[in-house]
Structure 1
Amino acid sequence: MAETSRELGRELRKAREEAGLSLSTFAERVRFSKGYLSKVERGQRDVTLGIARAYDRELDAGGALIALVAGRPSRRSKRNAVAMTVGLPPPSPRFVGRARELERIDAFVRGEHDTNACVLSGMAGAGKTALALRGAWNATELFPDGCILVEFGDHSPGVAEVSADDVLDALLRFFGIPARDIPAHRTARAGLYQSRIRRKRLLLVCDDVGTAGQITPLLPAGSGSKLLVTSRNRLNALDDATRLPVEVLPSAEAASLFRAIGGEHARTAADSVVGRVVARCGRLPLALRVAAARFQSSVTWSLDDFDERLADENARLSVLDDGERSVAAAFNLSCQALTGAALRLFGLLALHPARQVEIGSVAALAGTDLVRARRLVDQLSDAHLVTYASADRVTTHDLLRTFARNQVLPCMTEDDRRAATVRLLDHNLLLAAASDAHLDPHRYRTPLALPDPLGAARRFPDHASALAWLHREWPSLVKLCRLAAESGLHEHCWQLASMLRQYFFLTKQWEHWISTQLDAVSAARASGDRQKLAIAVSNLGTAHFDRGDLPVAVDYFQEALGLFRDAEDEHGITTATSHLAWTALYLGEHENALHDLRSVLVSYRRASNTRNAAIALRGIALAETELARYADAVRHAEMARAEFEALDLRLDVAMAVNCTAWAHFHAGNHAEARLRYEEAAALAEKCGSRYETARALTGLGNVHAATGNDAGAAERWAEADATCGPLDPVVVGEARVRAAT
């Protein structure tokens, strides 16, 4: 066995170098900081059993490296196990912000809270220690018997945690009690400790406490002394403690901290580039300090260059490592206390493309039920690895997501990651289908033969709940659609895009509508399914049509028509013909549009497709209005409305009433037009369509203008703009009339 830490470190370095691994690469693999491992290999830090196991495992040494230290006692004996400083080390000279937190610490130490312990908890690197020391320094005059810093976290992998017995022993020695008089039993030690502090005013700063049990015996029985505690965990078992969450810094304070440490070039840099750097550091104080120090020490980087390095998410954590401090190493320590199931979930959360994840998706990723998922999330939340955004939504800090993706997720098998991705997409596809069924209940959908252990298909009791969920979740669904495409899960991608179509039509989010349909088109091409390709191309054309990109829409509709003809799909052919007829209507080809829409109407009625037949009737009414056939237009618009009401399609009803109002306006029936537009505005608002509401309000403004009420017109037009912004005159006749007024 090697006899010294220097010799042990030399053996580890030799084994690593023989394996052809650089220290940087090896540090990333074993999830320890490069600076710490460098000290181990140079003999400046003790070679613990945990370190030996990490080297042995990664270098496939078959136990030989573990044998070097097995049974060798740590340099750290019980007597010197506690790092205790009488008095306080100087606070950071570049402490920034935290005014609210300092006020709460001041209130605590002055006795405004009926507790003797205040727990500052937060994610690794949030600046808890710096905050506690600053708060303690501000309060030194309140504690004439002194301030003591007790460091509970050695941060050396493999070293046992400091126990309450260790701390009580050190404190009793500080009080002048000879070692022979210190009781061996913890209860007796705690009693002696309480007797010695009963009449004292003492402040104990307990830094980086791992568990409540480490400090429970230290809680003062009287009111004179106080414990200021920092921890990466919430220490829930300290029932009566004052709790102070330590979050990341606000943007302005984060920028100030970076400028203060980063030197002259950081202080004079443009706000925009400093803002980007700060954002890439996640406004985490440790990351900001490391980044600023690295930038300040470089003579070649501009801040733009440094920002570009940080922009690479895969390399970001390596940039945030200065050899002595490492954001990744700090995160790794937070992970060490997790159960295997919680650590697995932490890694799997990185598969979700969104920062904020609904608890159902969490359960799907873990492959468990909601109760078990909540328990695991509670563990992660207590360790400040995730945050509850609400009772059912979980957020992970960007740097923690990067850490999980780069250093935790790769420890799982490809099969495990793939299965979790499929479960996640299955669950969200079922939810999207269930919500879309409320928005567009009569549209044909490909049946979903998917497992539903979480009851997603029964999630929404009504239209309102479905719409509320989509309002909240659509950004995640867009990202999941892209994830499915990138993962080669073509069916999931195509289906998700299809389920989002009606929502994006309702909300007029054309950019996201188009992006998801482009993903769907790519997925359909990759799968070789020409039927689904035709549907995706048609949907893509509809998005462009709805946005007013008529020439682009024509190209897609013609492509879709060709694909449907090749597939001999009569329904698809009719739909593509209908889309082309609508496009002709807005391109000014009114007679052609009317002819084709009548043909489409016959086909839909023959197929008993009532909903699409009613849409064709609405198009016919618009074409007849342009051709000054107002009575026919009103009649056909009212027929369409009746069909939509029978189907309980609220948005379509509002559109049909707007169509009726449009025909009356052109016929010069202003009173009737005003009544219809008012009705349409109310119906559209009730079903959640700001677009149709704005169309009705614009129409009302036009009625006012036509009847000489310029003030009323201006008021209604302003209301329309505030509701939805300017409408496109290419596809909204009311906007065209307003522009010409």
Structure 2
Amino acid sequence: MGGLRIAALGPLRAWRGERQLDTGPAQRRAVLTSLTLRCGQVASVEELVRDVWGSEPPASAPVAVRNHISRLRTVLESESAGPKALVSVAGGYALHLPDGALDVSRAERLYAQAQSARSQGDLEPAVRILAEAETLWVGTPLTGVPGPYAQRQRDRLMEYRLLLVEARLTLELQLGGHTRVVGELLTLADEHPLREELRALQMLALYRCGRQADALAAYTTARRHLAAELGVDPGPELVRLHQRILEADPTLAPPPGAAAAAPAPGPAAGPDRPTWVPPAQSPPDIPDFTGRGEESRQVRDALAGAGRTDATAPVVCVIHGMGGVGKTALAVHSAHAVREQFPDGQLYVDLRGAGREPADPYEVQELFLRSLGVLPGNVPSGREERTALYRSRMAGRRLLLLLDNAADTEQVSTLLPTTAGSAALITSRTALMCLPATTRTALEPFSEPEALALLERMAGSVRCRQEQQTASDLVWACGMLPLAVRVVGARLVARPRWTLATLAERLSDRSQRLGELEAGSLAVESVFHLGYSSLDDAEARAFRLLAIPEVPDLSTAAAAAVLQCDRREAEALLESLTHQGLLEPGEPGRYRYHDLLRLFARHRTLDTDPSTTRGEALSRVARFYLTGTSSAMRVERPYSRLPDAADPDGMPGAAAFTNALHAQEWVLHELPAMLNVAGQILHHPYRPVSAEDTRTLSCLLGLLMPFTDFCLPWGPIHQLARTLLRAADHHGDRVSTVFTCITAAAACAQLGHHEEAATLAARAHEALDPADRVLAPRVVYTMGVVAVARPDGLDEAIGHCRSAHALACENGEPGMAAQCSVSLARAQLALGRPDQALEAARDALAHCPPGDNPVGIALAQRVLGDALAALGRYDEAVTEYRTALDVCRAHGLHAQRAHTLLSLASALAAVGRPEQARTCAAEAAAALAQLGDPTGEERARTFMNRLAAAGPAAPPIAPDGSR
């Protein structure tokens, strides 16, 4: 309950500490008003119903009241142990607030203090106390709260304010301050023409200012209003004062010494301009503000431009980014850095743009007008008139407006200054692209050095440097989000005996991480919830479901698959979530979550969506990747019948590719996402792998095998395939078993697990349906590739490759036949039969039609070069290698290019061109290192060392038989 505060002297608002709470829709605020202003007394449900709906409530009103009470408890209570602020008592409810937590109570206490000071003759302190009480009113009390009770309280509180004002003005006149208050009294008397107390004070102030005629005219005005409105004459006190003014009664003279009293500094007082002091409303600067050097300079430089003599328009700076990224901190810090350039003051407002109920800009105008010296009664009720007065009051002044947490352009447009010299500094989760702005500063999460610097400033540099790696782990667990780092720092400050490792261990549990990122009024989850709560149903569903796939980012097409909608609708939802700071834009057409926002979204989907819904979302995205990969293969290898076997039906919204390079790039880009989604489905702790998912994933991994030029991550693929094989066995799916065994065997061969590879290839052959003409050549080919690894298996491998070649030719798959001939050529080379290898390589090229299967062409060309080199025909080998390199460059075949460069280096060395050979080998080593192929890189460097040691007579490197 500590830290709970409520304000009713203006819009109804509540805070816990420095964090403003969401008090909900209008009826809920009406319930809160009834409980708050009863000051701890019990209100029955029936009383609350009457307070909100009056004498004719709907039948559902009692249920609605109880629902509102439940929601208010969620917001107001700080502990889960049970309600302590909003309690149930004897069939009703009561709200208990700490002393001083309600602004109405503070106003009443201040009034009592002022009365006590006045009774003791301390008039000046009494004036100051009453003035302090008046500042508690920040607008019309209970603005926007419906119901008869709220209206009665609104009238009471407005009357109470007038009582305070009259008391203060009376004391001011007793102190001789008539010149200070005459303008205020002129306005108040006009606003309340039937209030004789104010009229009497006005007449006395005018008389003491030497304006006897104006004082008498004021009496005439009062008499006319009373007669017209009420049909009565002025009361005896006002009549007596009028007579005394006529007689110039010496007792009406100012008190001794009043002549020396001077008006307070500021613009001259007048009918609508009381004494005015430049506002200084910016929140305090952040003492440990860290980082943001470039962004801070950009904002400060832009704001400084407001003071240029050639400026023709106000400066407008927008700082935008996701919740918790530090927009307000940067804005406040920048505002303090330039405050001297705005001598007419700084205005600040939290526009609450991230929540359900953003601030009404016209109510904000009223608050700002009062800060600029306009009395409440002089603020026009009409929007156009209020805006006109607002702009007039802003004109000619040098003001800085800090408009924090803006919802959209419409909300801030009526608040902007309109003349040069002033500036507006706006923070928002969106870039407000339709707003004419001088600068826009996009805030991203901290860099690691910035995050560590903030953590050190809060928790202590010695403490952080003693656990340097753990400090780094902590800020990474925070996703470098400034708010999260600040929470971690605050928790470490509050627990000096904790090590950084203690907190890092607590944050390591992703399911509990958001709960740990809370310290007092700082809570990452609460900040995220503000944005989430403002979403409509479709946006909220998209935000939840799109977080389910553990992928680096999502394309529009993948999102459409997850959400079961067309791409246009998916893009609209993605853009809306990005606009509201809940997604981050990536490359064109791609979107990603911040790590903590993903955790928040996943918590929401666990709370909201059934497990079947979550599972189906993953299945749909897996199907999307399968269909996309099959489409890519149809373009990259148009001869292949494998896509028809793996994905016979396709999927609406599948990726479309214009050429083979485009198809390869798509597979390469989506590869991490494909493997992550496969891992999610296969390793889910509670949900078994379905038969449909088993088939989808086995076919997906199988379709990746022809894309080996991408240096596939064989270790993870091997692990996935082993898990998938158990699921295929469980469901008795022969096709899934064959696909998975082929994949696992290929991975084992690449990893050097040759016995396991042979076993898996044999299992694929056992599971193969004899009538399956598409998978048959691939199974036999896999058996051949696996046999090559055995010292005694080369002849067996040749037999398998020839059988697979024949099956491929029968199928009408020339590219597959070419692939078999390449493997056959390599086996022949390994057996020392270069002539037969040359024949197989030429057969491979013959089965590769120009323009189709660039990987197959490059491989066949390179193996042809290897065969020629083995025959000592190095010049011809160089020609073939160069041709293969042309194909690799044209089609982006990076791995093939690297290995071909190494083969070319060997041939160049053999024909006496050591410098060219060294250049090719160095280029190959660098490319292989970048591709993550340590074995190939080592071979290249070994060759370079041999070349350097042997000089021009360096021997050729042996063919490697690699990809």
Residue type of the partner of 1:448?
D
Larger RCO (alpha carbons 8 Å, 6+ apart): 1
2:857 matches 1:653: yes
Q: Which residue of 1 aligns with 2:483?
A: 286
Q: Which residue of 2 aligns with 1:96?
A: 290
2:688 matches 1:469: no
- Runs of 5+ unmatched residues, structure 1: 13-25, 48-68
Q: Which residue of 1 aligns with 2:951?
A: none
Deviation (angstroms), 1:306: 1.2
Deviation (angstroms), 1:351: 1.4
Q: 1:149 aligns with which of 348, 373, 394?
A: 348
Report the Cα distance in structure 1 between the residues aligned to 2:727 and 2:75, rounded to whole angstroms: 37
Q: Which residue of 2 aligns with 1:677?
A: 881
- Runs of 5+ unmatched residues, structure 2: 1-30, 46-69, 87-94, 103-145, 162-277, 944-955
| 2:35–2:43 CA contact under 8 A, matched in 1 | no
| 1:124–1:331 CA contact under 8 A, matched in 2 | yes
Residue type of the partner of 1:222?
T
Q: How do 1:37-56 and structure 2 match up within 5 A?
A: 41=86, 43-44=96-97
Change (3 A) 1:430 1:574: closer
| 1:611–1:647 CA contact under 8 A, matched in 2 | no
Q: Which residue of 2 aligns with 1:557?
A: 761
Change (3 A) 1:40 1:225: farther
2:560 matches 1:372: no
Change (3 A) 1:389 1:481: same
2:905 matches 1:701: yes
Q: Which residue of 2 aligns with 1:633?
A: 837
Change (3 A) 1:330 1:607: closer
Q: 2:784 aligns with which of 561, 578, 581?
A: 581
| 2:525–2:600 CA contact under 8 A, matched in 1 | yes
Q: How do 1:293-442 and structure 2 match up within 5 A?
A: 293-408=490-605, 410-441=607-638, 442=640
| 1:493–1:523 CA contact under 8 A, matched in 2 | no
Residue type of the partner of 1:313?
R
Deviation (angstroms), 1:580: 3.5
| 1:150–1:207 CA contact under 8 A, matched in 2 | yes
Change (3 A) 1:225 1:639: same
Change (3 A) 1:212 1:600: closer
Report the Cα distance in structure 2 between the residues aligned to 1:295 and 1:582, rounded to whole angstroms: 58
Please state whether the residue corresponding to 1:350 is helix, strand or coil: coil
Q: Which residue of 2 aligns with 1:64?
A: none
Q: 1:120 aligns with which of 319, 328, 333?
A: 319
Q: Which residue of 2 aligns with 1:665?
A: 869
Residue type of the partner of 1:224?
G
Change (3 A) 1:73 1:355: farther
1:634-664 Cα offsets, whole Å, 9 max, x none, are: 1221112111236922211221222222122
| 1:31–1:328 CA contact under 8 A, matched in 2 | no
Q: What is the root-mean-square deviation of aligned Cα atoms in Å? A: 3.8
Q: Which moved more, 1:655-664 or 1:286-295?
A: 655-664
1:121-141 Cα offsets, whole Å, 9 max, x none, are: 221111111111111111111
Q: 1:444 aligns with which of 632, 637, 642?
A: 642
| 1:650–1:683 CA contact under 8 A, matched in 2 | yes
Q: Which residue of 1 aligns with 2:745?
A: 541
1:212-270 Cα offsets, whole Å, 9 max, x none, are: 44433322121122221222344445344642222222221111011111235643244
1:170-196 Cα offsets, whole Å, 9 max, x none, are: 222223333332222122222222222
Q: 1:524 aligns with which of 700, 714, 728?
A: 728
Deviation (angstroms), 1:559: 3.0
Report the Cα distance in structure 2 between the residues aligned to 1:569 and 1:453, rounded to whole angstroms: 27
1:574-599 Cα offsets, whole Å, 9 max, x none, are: 65444333333343334444455445
2:420 matches 1:223: yes
Change (3 A) 1:355 1:617: closer
Change (3 A) 1:628 1:352: closer
Report the Cα distance in structure 2 between the residues aligned to 1:717 and 1:604, rounded to whole angstroms: 36
Report the Cα distance in structure 1 between the residues aligned to 2:857 and 2:575, rounded to whole angstroms: 46
1:117-161 Cα offsets, whole Å, 9 max, x none, are: 222222111111111111111111111111222233399x88x54
Deviation (angstroms), 1:738: 3.1
Change (3 A) 1:355 1:641: closer
Q: Which residue of 2 aligns with 1:54?
A: none
Q: Which residue of 2 aligns with 1:620?
A: 824
Counting matched residue pairs gives 698
1:466-488 Cα offsets, whole Å, 9 max, x none, are: 11212222111222222343463
Q: Which residue of 2 aligns with 1:261?
A: 458
Report the Cα distance in structure 2 between the residues aligned to 1:729 and 1:127, rounded to whole angstroms: 47
Q: Which residue of 2 aligns with 1:62?
A: none
Report the Cα distance in structure 2 between the residues aligned to 1:277 and 1:333, rounded to whole angstroms: 25
Change (3 A) 1:205 1:438: same
Change (3 A) 1:595 1:360: closer
Report the Cα distance in structure 1 between the residues aligned to 2:485 and 2:613, rounded to whole angstroms: 35
2:676 matches 1:479: yes
| 2:925–2:936 CA contact under 8 A, matched in 1 | no
Report the Cα distance in structure 1 between the residues aligned to 2:771 and 2:96, rounded to whole angstroms: 77
Report the Cα distance in structure 2 between the residues aligned to 1:169 and 1:733, rounded to whole angstroms: 75
Residue type of the partner of 1:517?
A
Deviation (angstroms), 1:96: 0.4
2:918 matches 1:719: no
Residue type of the partner of 1:94?
D
Change (3 A) 1:422 1:692: closer
Report the Cα distance in structure 2 between the residues aligned to 1:368 and 1:669, rounded to whole angstroms: 60
Please state whether the residue corresponding to 1:215 is helix, strand or coil: helix
| 2:699–2:739 CA contact under 8 A, matched in 1 | no
Change (3 A) 1:243 1:690: closer
Report the Cα distance in structure 1 between the residues aligned to 2:809 and 2:367, rounded to whole angstroms: 89
Report the Cα distance in structure 1 between the residues aligned to 2:936 and 2:364, rounded to whole angstroms: 76
Residue type of the partner of 1:503?
F
Deviation (angstroms), 1:715: 2.6
| 1:35–1:325 CA contact under 8 A, matched in 2 | no
- What fraction of aligned residue pairs are identical, expressed as a percent? 25
Residue type of the partner of 2:334?
G
Change (3 A) 1:408 1:231: farther
Report the Cα distance in structure 2 between the residues aligned to 1:619 and 1:428, rounded to whole angstroms: 29
Residue type of the partner of 2:622?
L
2:376 matches 1:172: no
Q: 2:301 aligns with which of 107, 113, 117?
A: 107
1:430-486 Cα offsets, whole Å, 9 max, x none, are: 2121012223331423253557443x16x1122122112122221112222223434
Q: Which residue of 2 aligns with 1:59?
A: none
Please state whether the residue corresponding to 2:414 is helix, strand or coil: helix
2:460 matches 1:273: no
Q: How do 1:130-149 and structure 2 match up within 5 A?
A: 130-149=329-348
| 1:662–1:699 CA contact under 8 A, matched in 2 | yes
Report the Cα distance in structure 2 between the residues aligned to 1:305 and 1:469, rounded to whole angstroms: 43
Deviation (angstroms), 1:409: 5.1
TM-score (norm 2): 0.66
Report the Cα distance in structure 1 between the residues aligned to 2:507 and 2:498, rounded to whole angstroms: 12
1:31-73 Cα offsets, whole Å, 9 max, x none, are: 99957998855844999xxxxxxxxxxxxxxxxxxxxx99764
